[in-house]
Chains A and B, each alone.
Chain A
Amino acid sequence: MEVAEHTPVLDPSLANLVEELSLRFEQEIIAVQTYRDGIPVLWVTPAGLKTLMHYLRTSASIRFQMLFDLTAIDERARVHREGQPASDFTVSYHLMSFSHPCDIRLKLALSESSLVAPTVTDVWPNANWYERECWDMFGIEFRGHPNLSRIMLPPTWEGHPLRKEHPARATEMEPYSLSEERQQAEQEALRFNPEQWGMTRESKNSEFMFLNLGPNHPSVHGVFRIALQLDGEILVDAVPDIGYHHRGAEKMGERQSWHTYIPYTDRIDYLGGVMNNLPYVMAVEKMAGIEVPERVKVIRVMLCEMFRIASHLLFYGTFAQDVGQLSPVFYMFVDRERVFNIIESICGARMHPGWFRIGGVAQDLPAGWDKAIREWLDFMPARLRDYDTMVMNNGILKRRTQGVGAYTTKDALDWGITGAGLRATGLEYDYRKARPYSGYEQFDFDIPVAVNGDCYDRCAIRVEEIRQSLRIIRQCVDNMPEGPYKSAHPSTTPPLKEKSRLDIETLINHFLSVSWGPVIAPQEVTTIIEATKGLNSYYLVSDGGTGSYRTRIRTPSFAHLQMIPEISRGFMVPDLIAIIASIDFVMADVDR
């Protein structure tokens, strides 16, 4: 096994913390492990889980302010489990610190006979949806959860899809048929019953109106449904309903090879394009131990920032449109078109190039690639100034969005809010600065922050981020390093051609690397990036095969939608639309 050789050394302060915890919680911690991502994994007992979490949140030497992710792994088919306690299903809690550059992972081992875990919703409010997702996907019961029901799949679904025995494609299942009775039952299950949504039908003075906003509505940005409880036009409650865009991206990850999964990632945050590839390929590279050349890093940064601008422009336009301004969206789509033309000239595709590769990028930059980019860099600032006049300085827009949907930094951390939504509350936290990846430490850029945390501020942050991204792209263009566009590492996929025809051995190797792709030694790795909408992470588990054993995609939009009821109660329907617009989500990023 290669594992031992690469076992990383923990960051000293993190090692101290692990030591401190092992002494203090001798009973509760069963085992400690470390993987290549430098995140210590503590296996805890169900009884000790909450105590430990509470301690990590409030009094440990490094405090963890956010439950970054909560997911599970079906361990029953996993072969390589060295050093891990026996477990059929493992619940994994990823905690993140905003005061120190480190994370910690708690794991809970469950046996198939009693799939029960204590709920942590009283420690972390945002655990609510994550636990529901675990119940939906794995059938793990979270005891004490306020509303443990299916979240992604329809209430009539049978089985738990991320279990290993659940079929992954239609051909593994019986042909689909819909009988009359079944159709009746399905439709009956859709009947709206306010009590199920935690709503009352009337107050002392008035009867409430229930309004079904979505899944098809002009301003829900995809297929997203919110059930509204209205008193006149005042929102008494708003309960989001997601899952209409669920495609089982995580399940697909278990079927695809490491290489062939790359294009699927493009479609997670479908406005982020190749930026979705980045955390995935970085995770595989970390597992394989690939160091990518400098040129690759800079190319990747450049394209990611272009996609950040494209995504923010779309946000900017639709935000203005959702508060009733008709024109900006057209200007911004024209600008977005300019970005896509450049991206197309480099990658050959526009929205979903799937262009990053394990160990590099698909091709080298084309000859004369920088000319169009320079022209565009010179062109954009004037346009952004126009947009400031048109949108950000508009009095009506200000009155519509200032003071609407505001929350504090503490609320944001409680609900797992990252990205512009977090920076709008005044916390200067950008993952590119806090824990640089892919060479971001070499770039000169600022983190825009605001103070009020309302809709207007969230938009203002993104507008400023467009300017900062332009700065980064200019630095990329001016300082593009020479060198290969692929790593020489043997696991680079597709592998380098040069060594393939020396003898039969190299040819066989090349053939296998192209057809199967790399074989990755048993590992677990999480990589996080500052994506267009917040922090996006891929948690990959390899069982020593040509594909992932478990692919967990933590997306920012999922967390952000969960907060909608908190920030919209008491406002009016038009305010809700402004709030939704200011969150900047896409449903593919929520449902995966």
Chain B
Amino acid sequence: MRFEVGSALSIGAILFTVIIVAAMLIWVERRLLGLWQERLGPNRVGPFGLLQVVADMIKIFAKEDWVPPFADRFSFLLAPPIIMVVILMSFSVIPFAPGVGVIDSDIGVLFVLAMASLGAYSVMLGGLSSNNKYALLGSLRAAAQMVSYEVFMGISLLGVVALAGTFNLREIVLSQADGWYILPQCVGFVIFLIAGVAESHRLPFDIPEAEQEIVAGYHTEYSGMKFGMFFVGEYLGVVLVSSLIVVLFFGGWLGPAFLPPIVCFVLKASVFVAFFVLLRAAIPRPRYDQLMNYGWLFLLPLSLLNLLLTGAFVLWQEGM
């Protein structure tokens, strides 16, 4: 096994950038939604409302940091940092560009999947420790949803792994120099995209926090920065899934020679971030049991079939 750890400076820079980008996404999402919904969105604070994020941050830090007396204090405090930490950890294996990345690991794909499943603890603990019925319903939904969608999230990636012959994300990017995996793995891509939306529980998969049904779901009782961590965690998740899609299916930083690799990566990832927002603007929310059925009865067999065919293809090619 091989680990190549980047310099402290680049680790710090990546951490900082990722968090800033996630925070800026709050503004980006609100402006994009405004654009698509015949309204303006935040445009008062600073040029184009850009400083809205700063104002939001001041608000969120200045708010009373309240722990409900009926909550289980320890796990209530533990839940929000978990989501932040596991997603930030996942970023450590993402290769943003040649030479830009935290760790170059041979088990990159597995690491990301492991971290994603740890994320489920955050929402479960948050909901259970709140001692609130809406939060309880939310965390039950979250647990069921994340457990089932992780299954084929993993399986949908295996097609790419089989083609590239490695779990190392950087090598997966490099192996796409002749052609992106979106073409041979289009089914895997669609399944991964759906599972990715479910993992970051955004509409139409925001069932654990469905506002119209269970108020705010698992984070109903949270306020101040603890809520902020859930909130930014969601956007970090969006960035993470978009980055993974780019790395696995769209050739990472590979692109036309006149573009610096990092710009290429950012551009590709932005398209998917915008897609996430568009999805939220466009689609209603299915019911919880419909979502489960859709996952287990349709997506799981499909992802297995995809893996089977990819495997057969790889074996056939090796046989030649």
Where the two chains meet, the residues of A that have a C-beta atom closer than 8 Å to any C-beta of B are: 209, 211-212, 217-219, 233, 320-327, 330-331, 334, 394, 396-397, 399-400, 572-575, 577
Number of CB contacts from chain A to chain B under 8 A: 79
Given contacts A217-B215, A331-B37, A574-B213, contact A326 B286 (CB under 8 A): no
Cα of A209 to Cα of B288 in the assembled complex, Å: 18
User: Quick one: given A324-B204, A331-B38, are A575 and B212 in contact (CB under 8 Å)?
Assistant: no
- Chain B residue numbers with a CB within 8 Å of A325 are 282-285
Taking the closest CB of chain A, its distance from the CB of B199, in whole angstroms, is 18
- Residue B85 at the A interface, CB < 8 A? no
Q: Of residues B36, B206, B280, B287, which shows the largest number of chain A Cβ atoms within 10 Å of its Cβ?
A: B287
Q: Which of B30-72 contact A (CB under 8 A)?
A: 33, 36-39
Contact of B288 among A233, A323, A331 (CB under 8 A): A233
Can you list the 7 inter-chain pairs with the closest CB atoms, starting with the nearest? A324-B285, A325-B284, A330-B37, A219-B212, A324-B284, A396-B284, A322-B212
Decide: B281 and A327 in contact? CB cutoff 8 A: yes
Q: Indicate if the CB atoms of B212 and A218 lie closer than 8 Å.
A: yes
Q: How far is A352 from B203 in the complex, measured between Cα atoms in Å? A: 36
Residue pair A218, B215 in contact (C-beta under 8 Å): yes
Q: Which of A233, A320, A399, A572 has the most B CB atoms < 10 Å from its CB?
A: A233
Q: Which residues of B contact A324 (CB under 8 A)?
A: 203-204, 206, 210, 212, 283-286
Q: Are A573 and B212 in contact (CB under 8 A)?
A: no
Asked whether B214 is an interface residue with its Cβ less than 8 Å from the other chain, the reply is: yes
Name the one of A212, A321, A573, A575 contacting B137, with C-beta atoms under 8 angstroms.
A573
Residues of A within 8 A of B283 (CB): 324-325, 394, 396
A323 to B290, CA, bound (A): 13
Q: Are A573 and B213 in contact (CB under 8 A)?
A: yes
5 sampled A-B residue pairs with Cβ under 8 A: A323-B285, A327-B282, A396-B286, A399-B290, A400-B290
List A contacts of B288 (CB < 8 A). Answer: 233, 572, 574
Chain B: minimal CB distance from A334 (Å): 5
A212-B133, A324-B206, A327-B33 given; 7 more Cβ-contact pairs under 8 Å: A233-B137, A323-B284, A327-B281, A394-B284, A399-B287, A572-B287, A573-B137
Inter-chain CA distance A325–B284, complex, in Å, is: 4
Chain A residues with CB under 8 Å of B38's CB are 330-331, 334
Enumerate chain A residues within 8 angstroms of B285, measured Cβ to Cβ: 323-325, 396, 400, 574
Instruction: Give Cα A324 to B203, complex, Å.
Output: 8
Is B213 in contact with A321, judged by CB distance below 8 angstroms?
no
A400: contacting residue among B33, B137, B211, B286, CB under 8 A: B286
Q: Cβ of B212 and Cβ of A321 under 8 Å apart?
A: yes
B75 to chain A, nearest CB (A): 21
Please state if B289 and A572 are interface contacts (CB–CB under 8 Å): yes
Residue ID in chain B nearest A228 by CB atoms = B133
- Contacting A at CB under 8 A, from B271-311, are 280-290
Is B133's CB under 8 angstroms from A211's CB? yes
Alpha-carbon gap, A399 to B287, bound state (A): 9
In the complex, A218→B210 CA distance in Å?
A: 10
Task: Out of A330, A394, A400, name the residue touching B287 (CB < 8 Å).
Answer: A400
Give the docked Cα–Cα distance between A10 and B153 (Å): 74
Q: How far is the CB of B191 from chain A (nearest CB, A)?
A: 18
Nearest B residue (CB) for A399? B290
B113-165: which residues lie under 8 A (CB-CB) from chain A?
A: 133-134, 137
Set of chain B residues within 8 Å of A322, measured between Cβ atoms: 212
CB closest residue in chain B, given A324: B285
Closest CB-CB distance, A322 to chain B, in whole Å?
A: 5
**Known A-B contacts A324-B204, A330-B38, A330-B39; A400 and B284 likewise in contact (beta carbons under 8 Å):** yes
- A380–B37 Cα distance when bound, in Å, is 17
List B contacts of A209 (CB < 8 A). 133
A320 touches B287 (CB 8 A): no
Contact: B212 with A577, CB < 8 Å? yes
Report the minimum CB–CB distance from B1 to chain A (whole Å). 44
Q: Which residues of A contact B281 (CB under 8 A)?
A: 326-327
Residues of A within 8 A of B284 (CB): 320, 323-325, 394, 396-397, 400
Please name all residues of chain A whose beta carbon is closer than 8 Å to the beta carbon of B215 when the two chains form the complex. 217-218
Alpha-carbon distance between A322 and B210 when the two chains are bound, in angstroms: 10
- Chain A CB count within 10 A is highest, among B36, B37, B282, for B37
Q: Give B196-225 interface residues, CB cut-off 8 Å to A.
A: 203-204, 206, 210-215
Q: Cβ of A327: which chain B residues have Cβ within 8 Å of it?
A: 33, 36-37, 281-282
**Cross-chain contact A574 with B36 (CB below 8 angstroms):** no
For B280, the chain A residues whose CB sits under 8 A away are 326
Instruction: Give the contacting residue for A574; candidates B37, B39, B204, B287; CB below 8 A.
Output: B287
Q: Are A219 and B39 in contact, CB atoms less than 8 angstroms apart?
A: no
A321 to B281, CA, bound (A): 11
Asked whether B203 lies within 8 Å of A326 as measured between CB atoms, the reply is: yes
A167-B306 Cα distance, complex, nearest whole Å: 76
B284 to chain A, nearest CB (A): 4
CA gap between A320 and B37 in the complex, in Å: 14
CA distance A577 to B134 in the complex (A): 14
Q: Is the CB of B289 within 8 A of A573?
A: no
Partner of B213 from A320, A326, A397, A577 at Cβ < 8 Å: A577
Interface residues of B in 172-208 (CB under 8 A from A): 203-204, 206
Closest B residue, CB atoms, query A396: B284
Which residue of chain A lies nearest to B287 when distances are taken between CB atoms in the complex?
A574
Closest-CB distance, A570 to chain B (whole angstroms): 13
CA distance A326 to B36 in the complex (A): 11
